[in-house]
Amino acid sequence: MNLKKHVKLGLSALALSISFNSVAAEDPIKVGILHSLSGTMAISETVLKDTVEMLIEQQNAKGGVLGRQMEAVVVDPASNWPLFAEKARELLAQEEVDVIFGNWTSVSRKSVLPVVEELNGLLFYPVQYEGEESSENVFYTGAAPNQQAIPAVNYLMNEIGVERWVLAGTDYVYPRTTNKILETYLMDMGVAKEDIMINYTPFGHSDWQNIVSDIKRFGSAGKKTAVVSTINGDANVPFYRELGNQGIAASDIPVVAFSVGEQELSGIDTGPLVGHLAAWNYFMSVDNDANYDFIDQWIEHTGNEQAVTNDPMEAHYIGFNMYVEAVKKAGTTDVDAVKDAIIGVTVPNLTGGYAAMMPNHHITKPVLIGEIQDNGQFSVVWETPSLVAGDAWSDYLPGSRDMIADWRKPMFCGTFNTATGTCGASAGEMAAEAE
């Protein structure tokens, strides 16, 4: 081969390489959205799908990320927990998405966990949960129990003088684990076992008459009583309606809810519920310019002047922006590079502060207690004086009080036992074993 022909072949190969890399650079960043658009959880999850789509549109209007546009890939797991795993596999293996934003219930998250770990995907999970988990592939932007449940109980105990406790929840892992933590915490604080009532109901439960009667009877023992509610999904609508039917006012037996926000209240008459409470890390009523801007953008996106915002939407706002910043920091959407880059990333929240991604893949958050108003909004009546970092493992459960999670090298472990100095099974393996 003469030199001229060799040079021409070399230049052709270089041009082909440049052309291929240019096309690759213009491929969209594919964002999987794994939220129920039908079934019992659609009341809460549909707006989260819409939120991620809005955030993608806004980012694309800014030029995308690393010169690439973002593209939403939407699936409907339909409030069917095994289907969540199938849809996660579809997103990662067939659609080859770069990241997933999704899930609400913990049972759906635990269904997805083994798949995300097996296929080395990224999942941003935006809802309060029971803790007791830290996966290298999951970023928990909702509250852990120390960022919601424990502060809420402290508020009821210290500010309202509650002495008797009804722990009412939907029958799945989040309420059961959270209530196990709360029961231990309450008894550590001197509450007698007979002053704690625990009740579970299935998803979609609608006949609350007998249960609310039991709550009313339990609260008539002469001690201040409160309900701590981990009831999820559309079962909240008949639950609150029955409270009103039986004349249970917040001044008599206050309810503090962990899964009822502005979206859930938009479907019911809130008149009889004025004064009941919710514990979150964000409320639509927060007086802050960033929040007002977000609300305006949401109303414009939905075309609905009555559209409301809520805490899990803010969690997706935070998680989405953390992902964007981590991709920029890493200079790539490569999963392992993003996992390394995201620890320590700090972005604004919507309450006037900042959220930081901690080494345990949980974030820093303020804790707010809000009181239901007759317009379906919340008035903030209490908040923590500073940000609270999320604990992956509870101090109030014997099996986890010695556990920590740190996804920085050299530890790189979500189940490190400080007593034995060993790293246990992954979150996905633990979820698979529990099935």
What are the pLDDT digits (tens) for 14-65? Answer: 444 444 444 345 799 999 999 999 999 998 999 999 999 999 999 999 999 9
pLDDT at 66 over 80: yes
pLDDT at 261 over 70: yes
pLDDT at 234 over 90: no
pLDDT at 409 over 80: yes
For 165-200, the pLDDT digits (tens) are 999 999 999 999 999 999 999 999 999 999 999 999
Mean of pLDDT values over 401-413: 96
What pLDDT is attached to residue 434?
61
Q: Which of 21-25, 95-99, 394-398, 413-417 has the lowest mean pLDDT?
A: 21-25
What pLDDT is attached to residue 305?
95
What is the spatial distance between Cα 167 and Cα 176, in angstroms, rounded to a whole number? 9
pLDDT at 322 over 70: yes
Look up the pTM and report it. 0.90
pLDDT at 128 over 80: yes
What is the spatial distance between Cα 168 and Cα 258, in angstroms, rounded to a whole number? 11
List residues bridging with 226 in a β-sheet: 165
pLDDT at 150 over 50: yes
List residues bridging with 256 in a β-sheet: 228, 277
pLDDT at 2 over 70: no
Q: Of all residues in the chain, what percent carry a pLDDT higher than 70?
A: 93
Mean model confidence pLDDT for the chain: 92
What pLDDT is attached to residue 244?
87
Helices marked H in 195-334: 209-218, 236-245, 262-265, 289-302, 311-330
Mean of pLDDT values over 360-378: 96
What pLDDT is attached to residue 313?
98
Confidence of residue 386 (pLDDT cuts 50, 70, 90): very high
pLDDT at 408 over 80: yes
What is the spatial distance between Cα 173 and Cα 231, in angstroms, rounded to a whole number? 12
pLDDT at 433 over 80: no
Longest C-alpha distance within the chain, in Å? Answer: 101
Helices marked H in 93-235: 106-118, 149-155, 173-188, 209-218
Mean of pLDDT values over 216-231: 97
What pLDDT is attached to residue 4?
43
What pLDDT is attached to residue 11?
46
What pLDDT is attached to residue 72?
98
pLDDT at 9 over 50: no
Backbone dihedral angles phi then psi of residue 59, each to the nearest 5 degrees: -65, -40
Q: Which residue has the higher pLDDT, 268 or 58?
A: 58
Mean of pLDDT values over 362-367: 98
Q: Give the H or E element holding residue 17.
A: helix 3-26
What is the spatial distance between Cα 81 and Cα 79, in angstroms, rounded to a whole number? 6
Helices marked H in 219-310: 236-245, 262-265, 289-302
∠383-384-385 over CA atoms, to 5°?
115
Pick left, alpha or beta for residue 127 (phi over 0 → left; psi -120 to 50 → alpha; otherwise beta).
beta
Helices marked H in 142-206: 149-155, 173-188
Q: Which residue has the higher pLDDT, 260 or 102?
A: 102
